Amino acid sequence: MGNKLKIFILLLFIAGIYSCDVDFTGFIRSTDRIEDRFIQSIEYNDNHPTENIIVNSSDYCLLAASDLHVGTTVNTEKLLDYYSSSDDIALLLVGDIVSGRREHYELLHEITDTFTKPLFMMAGNHDLYFDGWKSYYEFFGSSTYYFTVTTTDTADLYICLDSGGGTLGKSQVEWLENLLDEQRENFRYCIISSHVNILRTRRTTSANPLVEEVAYLLDLFAKYDVNLVITGHDHVQDEAKIGNTTYLILDAVVDSNPNAGFLTISVNTDNLSYEFIRFN
């Protein structure tokens, strides 16, 4: 193969990388380290009080969705329209909310900036591509935090975690363990949301969780009676139960997914239930 042809192929390859929504550094490591992101998230939390949603009833519903990959927005706008016209009290967006580029963050911010109902976001691996954490933090703030829901007779704890780089990291795991140790007994249900799956249906080339961390988290969730763990990342819905903890993987909302959908969660005094909803 001649040198000119080699150069031509190389240029085509580079152009292909630039034109797609993948930053190949993300297959090797997150461009922003989890410890740095965690520190920034906690600094953000220090300046923003923990949100408590008050419900004038003993039961309520909320939504969860993942992998919007905003760049195109057909399904995202369907999701937000559904949420805005429903009685659901909150919407969890559990990562890969954009396809990584600055302009995608700007587009999502434009769509959600005037939204009046609560939106709770977490960073996924695609949100970190193209130096995306800076834009995530600018527009949406923390990716490690918790909020509460108070009903007429009890309260529930919702914990949101940053697993965008494939690991929660030492500091975030310590924060999580301390939170559960200090707060779990004060709440009826505990629901944890994050992007990368604790349990995997298949192995992918990016952001796979550390085996040792998974084993530790499974034990931690059992110890503190975590009721529900919600993740995305794999794009295909799945559910499993270990002990008293149910682990869910959500369908991707991204427009290219023929089975795009989201999750509804119904919470009442007797039980916590859920249903996968598809757009089509």
Q: What number does CATH give the domain 3-278?
A: 3.60.21.10
Predicted confidence at residue 240, as pLDDT, reads 96
Query: CA-CA distance, 84 to 142, in Å (whole number)?
Result: 23
Within a 10 A sphere around the Cβ of 75, how many other Cβ atoms?
A: 23
Predicted confidence at residue 15, as pLDDT, reads 44
For the sheet containing 261-267, what is the strand order? 119-121, 91-93, 60-65, 261-267, 272-278
- Which residues contact residue 185 at a Cβ distance below 8 angstroms, ignoring those fewer than 6 apart? none
From residue 32, alpha-carbon distances to 47, 67, 96, 138 in Å are 22, 19, 15, 14
Predicted confidence at residue 1, as pLDDT, reads 57
Give bridge partners of residue 145 from the DSSP assignment.
160
Predicted confidence at residue 28, as pLDDT, reads 43
Q: Which letter, b or e, does each residue of 234-258 get, where b requires 16 or more Cβ atoms within 10 Å of its Cβ?
A: bbebbeeeeeebbbbbbbbbbbebe
Predicted confidence at residue 22, as pLDDT, reads 52
- Which residues contact residue 81 at a Cβ distance below 8 angstroms, ignoring those fewer than 6 apart? none
Predicted confidence at residue 201, as pLDDT, reads 74
Predicted confidence at residue 12, as pLDDT, reads 45
- Asked if residue 243 lies in contact with residue 231, where contact means CB atoms within 8 angstroms, the answer is no
Query: Which residue is it, tokens 């080339």?
Result: 205
Predicted confidence at residue 250, as pLDDT, reads 97
* Whole-number average pLDDT of the chain: 90
Predicted confidence at residue 3, as pLDDT, reads 62
Residues above pLDDT 70, as percent of the chain: 87
Q: What is the model's pTM?
A: 0.90
Burial degree of 68 (CB within 10 A; 0-12, 13-18, 19+):
buried
Residues of the chain below pLDDT 70: 1-32, 203-207
- Asked if residue 121 lies in contact with residue 93, where contact means CB atoms within 8 angstroms, the answer is yes
Query: CA-CA distance, 236 to 259, in Å (whole number)?
Result: 8
- Asked if residue 198 lies in contact with residue 217, where contact means CB atoms within 8 angstroms, the answer is yes
Structure tokens at 255: 């427009």
Query: CA-CA distance, 218 to 40, in Å (whole number)?
Result: 26
Predicted confidence at residue 185, as pLDDT, reads 98
Predicted confidence at residue 206, as pLDDT, reads 64
